[in-house]
């Protein structure tokens, strides 16, 4: 699907479907919309008068033009109340409009990218959000569908900027940035949506190799023997039950060689999680292919960062393995030693993500990271606490955490900070080792994060638990059913923000 910027009359734009937005309780304003309404014999104003609910947030109404204008149909999109509009809502609205347009089977869709009557938002940022929404809303995972040709008919989207002042028009550079961000999220979605028999640790290496070659990033891949030399026995303990060899990927974007600051993104890459000996229930186990979504988020973010080239040093670290039961598998009651030389008592082999992140975070420190973020589908407890709406956050450094939360807020990715009270550490103390890998059900999302904190040591560290937000059960806003690509946009925005400080 191609996206182009145009400045043409709404009446004469050659397209199959034209999308126009309108705020709730507002009258028609602007020469472009007035002219379109006149050409359609007042159908738009009649709708607003007789069916005022048609412009409530997210509502869509199709108007067939019968050759009165060049477009074959018009979709009237409800924008809701003007005072409640945000960039994230515009992002979602453009995705909703695109999905509605898809039902009409158009090849070309045109949409007004900016309503000049809205003075509450930064115009370029709003326009970029709209373009991102188009990309995110267009996402469909069709890799395993036989009938790919007719899966999505839309080939071109025309973004109209007629009433936009010249100084606030979306430039082609702005458009390109939105495309890069949207496509990077969709790339991460693809990685998560693939089944586990395809998206193995070795396949994750192939995907990283492709990115490194395409965008000129440095890639290092640690094999099993390398991990043994580095004493990564927490990661290796999880991997020992699988026939698939573990991998640890490191992608580097060194955007500021004059700085000693290195930011590490560490993503959990469990490509399938059976629970190991502490086997998960069979119902829903097929969804455990998404346990590498943290790693996918890091890969997606690094793909965008390599193209946007922020002046900041970022390393993406992804420990990859399966967690499987076998005669060689890790057992409850075992004691292992991590790369950081901390001994760990295994209470539950299904608490494996924190084990591989322990070595991943330690390796980030080994590579000189001065700040660390880990992102992982870590705990069911986070889903219980925050549902599928908000990702949980834990930190050992409030200033660093605030920067992450600001980036999340700017992108519309909802995150909430868990408390980090010293009393919670009591739950993960072991009587026979330095620490145990599960503190039980109470405050499970917090104690899981605090386990990882042991390996960040004094380095500023933020943990993001995306267990609840990794998937969407239906098409909603700019999320399509399946993987959401959560975390990608926050990490990209954080990298951009850091270069400005």
In whole angstroms, give the CA distance from residue 350 to residue 113.
47
Residue 414 among the catalytic residues:
no
By the 10 Å C-beta count (0-12 exposed, 13-18 middle, 19+ buried), 362 is classed as: buried
CB atoms within 10 A of CB 29: 14
Long-range contacts for 59-66 (Cβ within 8 Å, ≥24 apart)? 60/96, 60/97, 60/100, 62/100, 62/104, 65/40
By the 10 Å C-beta count (0-12 exposed, 13-18 middle, 19+ buried), 222 is classed as: buried
By the 10 Å C-beta count (0-12 exposed, 13-18 middle, 19+ buried), 137 is classed as: buried
Residue 493 among the catalytic residues:
no
Judged by DSSP in three states, 26 sits in coil
DSSP string across 316-359:
EEEEEEEE--STTS--TT-EEE-TTS-EEE-S-TT--HHHHHHH
- Asked whether the beta carbons of 262 and 330 are under 8 A apart, the reply is no
Single out the catalytic residue among 99, 280, 414, 476.
280
CA–CA distances in Å: residue 389 to residues 20, 80, 134, 233, 374? 29, 21, 21, 35, 19
Q: What is the dihedral of CA 97, 132, 286, 382, to 10 degrees?
A: -110
In whole angstroms, give the CA distance from residue 234 to residue 376.
16
DSSP string across 122-175:
-HHHHHHHHHHHHHHHT----TT-S--TTT----EEEEE-SSS-GGGSPPHHHH
Closest C-alpha to 140, from 124, 122, 154? 154
- Asked whether the beta carbons of 12 and 162 are under 8 A apart, the reply is no
In whole angstroms, give the CA distance from residue 491 to residue 188.
13
DSSP 8-state code for residue 292: G
- Token reading at 228: 């043994």
Single out the catalytic residue among 177, 354, 365, 493.
354
- Asked whether the beta carbons of 384 and 410 are under 8 A apart, the reply is no
Which residues are marked as active site? 280, 354
């Amino acid at each position: 699907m191609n996206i182009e910027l145009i400045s043409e009359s709404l009446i004469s734009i050659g397209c199959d479907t034209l999308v126009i937005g309108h705020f709730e309780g507002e009258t028609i304003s602007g020469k472009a919309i007035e002219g379109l309404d006149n050409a359609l014999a007042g159908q738009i104003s009649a709708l607003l008068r007789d069916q005022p609910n048609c412009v409530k947030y997210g509502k869509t109404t199709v108007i067939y033009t019968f050759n009165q204008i060049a477009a074959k149909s018009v979709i009237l999109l409800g924008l809701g109340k003007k005072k409640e509009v945000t960039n994230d809502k515009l992002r979602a609205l453009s995705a909703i409009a695109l999905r509605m347009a898809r039902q009409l089977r158009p090849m070309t869709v045109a949409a007004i990218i900016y309503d000049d009557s809205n003075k509450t938002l930064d115009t370029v940022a709003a326009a970029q959000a709209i373009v991102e929404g188009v990309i995110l809303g267009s996402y469909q995972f069709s890799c395993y569908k036989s009938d790919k040709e007719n899966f999505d008919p839309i080939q071109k989207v025309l973004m109209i900027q007629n009433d936009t002042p010249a100084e606030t028009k979306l430039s082609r550079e702005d458009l390109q940035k939105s495309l890069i961000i949207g496509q990077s999220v969709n790339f991460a979605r693809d990685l998560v949506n693939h089944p586990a028999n395809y998206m193995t640790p070795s396949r994750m290496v192939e995907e990283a190799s492709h990115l490194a070659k395409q965008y000129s990033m440095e890639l290092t891949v640690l094999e099993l023997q390398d991990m043994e030399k580095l004493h990564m026995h927490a990661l290796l303990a999880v991997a020992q039950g699988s026939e698939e060899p573990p991998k640890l990927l490191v992608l580097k974007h060194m955007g500021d060689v004059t700085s000693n600051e290195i930011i590490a993104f560490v993503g959990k890459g469990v490509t399938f999680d059976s629970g190991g000996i502490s086997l998960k229930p069979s119902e829903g186990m097929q969804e455990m292919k998404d346990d590498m979504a943290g790693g996918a988020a890091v890969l997606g973010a690094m793909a965008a960062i390599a193209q946007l080239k922020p002046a900041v040093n970022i390393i993406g670290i992804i420990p990859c393995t399966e967690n499987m039961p076998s005669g060689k598998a890790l057992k409850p009651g075992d004691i292992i030693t991590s790369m950081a030389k901390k001994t760990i008592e295994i209470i539950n082999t299904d608490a494996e993500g924190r084990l591989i992140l322990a070595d991943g975070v330690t390796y980030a420190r080994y590579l000189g990271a001065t700040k660390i973020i880990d992102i992982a589908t870590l705990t069911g407890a986070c889903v219980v606490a925050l549902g599928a709406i908000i990702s949980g956050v834990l930190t050992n450094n409030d200033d660093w955490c605030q920067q992450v939360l600001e980036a999340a807020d700017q992108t519309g990715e909802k995150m909430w900070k868990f408390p980090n009270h010293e009393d919670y550490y009591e739950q993960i103390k072991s009587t026979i080792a330095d620490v145990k890998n599960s503190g039980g059900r109470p405050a499970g999302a917090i104690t899981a994060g605090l386990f990882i904190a042991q390996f960040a040591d004094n380095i500023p560290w933020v943990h993001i638990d995306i267990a609840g937000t990794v998937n969407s059960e239906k098409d909603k806003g700019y999320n399509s059913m399946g993987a959401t690509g959560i975390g990608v946009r926050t990490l990209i925005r954080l990298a951009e923000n850091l270069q400005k400080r």
